[in-house]
Amino acid sequence: LADAPEDVRKSVAALLAEGAALGVQSKWTEAIAAYRECIKLDPEMSQAWFALGYAYFNQNGRKNCEAQIEPYTRCIALNPSNATAYSNLGNALDEIEDYDGAEKMYRKAIALDPKYSNAHYALGILLKNVRRDYDGAEEMYRKAIVLDPSNALVHSNLGNLLKIVRKDYGAEQMYRKAIELDPKHAPAHYNLGGLLENNRKDHDGAEEMYRKAIALDPKHTSACWNLSRILENRSEEHTSELQSP
């Protein structure tokens, strides 16, 4: 682009800025068109490829999708030091169940930027859900927390992992910390309720957590079901006490 005529350089910059402005307005289809035009003029602009991948993510309701793969791959080819592009490409590959490719991208992102908490967290999810490598997943979650101590979601998911490996005390700590960091995080209330009900046999505490989860997310069917079960059992116990001689 440096050797291109000035009017071309200006139009490329203008299209990149236009795409960014459209993104601020959540006009992602128009933003994608602007980035595509920018890339036509300068196929070697890594920023435009990265922005295009991010625009596809937002156009898809902030969910990863296959359309992101080409833009992030091209971005990385032009700028191999972009750790975020590697991590985002990993997310897109994970979405199409290319788990080997996704893991490779996450590890590359971490190698480039060891302080990139999102890459540690994403790798932890893959290790837990796909590899069933719970020790490795716990290590990644804990690193993500050290790097981003205010992330309630990571705390909550570490709690889920610790619950799986029967580290109930640690799981409870993580759920409570997640709630402290984000009192509106319904999954942490629900998961703490499940631990209190099933592992602690603290039905009063579980009821409180389920009620809070439902207040935050009225469509949380699992919390509704669990709360109804607790209330039904309590009613049966009360009836039994009244009928006993």
Tens of pLDDT, residues 118-173: 999 999 999 999 999 999 999 999 999 999 999 999 999 999 999 999 999 999 99
Instruction: Return the pLDDT at 235.
Output: 77
The predicted-structure confidence for 19-73, as pLDDT tens digits, reads as follows 999 999 999 999 999 999 999 999 999 999 999 999 999 999 999 999 999 999 9
More confident position, 223 or 243: 223
Residue ranges of the alpha helices (H) in 25-167? 28-41, 46-59, 69-78, 83-95, 99-112, 117-126, 134-147, 152-164
> Helix (H, G, I), strand (E, B), or coil: what is residue 211?
helix
pLDDT at 93 (0 to 100): 98
pLDDT tens figures, 91-126: 999 999 999 999 999 999 999 999 999 999 999 999
DSSP 228-241: HHHHHHHHHHHHHH
CA angle 13/19/25 to nearest 5° reads: 140
On whether the CB atoms of residues 212 and 226 are closer than 8 A, the answer is no
CB atoms within 10 A of CB 32: 21
Q: What is the pLDDT of residue 6?
A: 57
